[in-house]
Each structure stands twice: as structure tokens, then as C-alpha cells.
Amino acid sequence: MLIDLTIIKDTPTAFDFTLAANQVELDSDAAKVAEVVRVAGKLKKGIVQTDVEGLVSTVLEVECVRCLQTVEMPLEITFRVGFIGAEHYTREKDAEVNITDLEISISENDKIDLTEVVREQILLNLPDRVLCRENCLGFCEKCGANRNLIDCSCIKKETDPRWAALKTLN
């Protein structure tokens, strides 16, 4: 959804829309959007900066880090992003960056692409590690079997030869 800032007034403007799962491409092998993405919020235009805040909710399909099984994960993200025009942005190499500058983006041609904002927020809020369940056993190191589904008993059969001398102790 493209917002033209030239037609936005100084009063807050609400937005509420949905995106199909295929409209939000995450460019990730480990996660993809599984359901419709719901986006609602408001946009407030100031003299130099336009603030966008809202809520994104959807369901993602994410791979378990141990067994690579697909897990559905509900996601609700509250976000706030500021946009400034390119003419108000400093391009100096030695400019000091404040923590608040990390929440600022540049609006191109007085337009804001809310679909890209949604995509960025989902990517920023992806978890580092997802497990299909708390006690996921993952793959067997020897045969590669998913130990959640079958008991391959490879680990029980083999003993590390470095510990073999300890078996003789009584």
C-alpha cells in the first residue's frame, strides 16, 4: 500500500488493510508468511517528519532449528517508524548517529510504501531460535533420522573409544 504524503493533512490519518501471504516476501528459507497479514494504525504528518505507528498481526511458518519441522507461529508486532524527506537527511560521512535515528527512514518522492514497512517489521521480529517443542530431540548425528519420530539407537550402540578404559574400573 503506497501512501502519497502530498495529500495527507496535518491531522492523524488512520489506515487499516490486509495483505495476502504472497504479497509479503521475506526472502528467507527458514520463515514465510502463512496467513493474511492484518495491518492497522495511524500516520501523522509533521513539518519535517511523518510518524507511522500501528499493529501487524499474522501467522508465520518457521522451521524448528533442531529438526527442521515446520511450526506455525502467531506474530503480533506493535511498531513505530518515522519518515523524513531526502532533503532533510544528512549525507555527511562523519555525521553522528543517535539511537532515535535508527527508527527513521527516508521517504522517496513523498511516498511511503506500507507493505515494505510491514515486511521490515516482520523480519526485525523473527525469533532467533524456534523449537517445535521444548524437548525436541533433533536429528541423529550418525544416521540423520529425526529422533522425534523414530528411535534409531545409534547413540546407544556406540561408545566413544576415549572412554573405553573407564568400563574396566569397578
Mean pLDDT estimate for the chain: 83
DSSP string over 8-56: --SS-EEEEEEE-GGGS----SSEEE-SPEEEEEEEEE-SSEEEEEEEE
Quick: pLDDT tens for 67-100.
999 999 999 999 998 887 755 555 555 556 555 5
What average pLDDT score do residues 44-68 get?
90
With 80 as the cut, is the pLDDT of residue 142 above it? yes
What average pLDDT score do residues 12-24 get?
90
With 60 as the cut, is the pLDDT of residue 36 above it? yes
Number of H helices, E strands in the chain: 2, 8
pTM greater than 0.85: no
Q: What is the pLDDT of residue 20?
A: 93
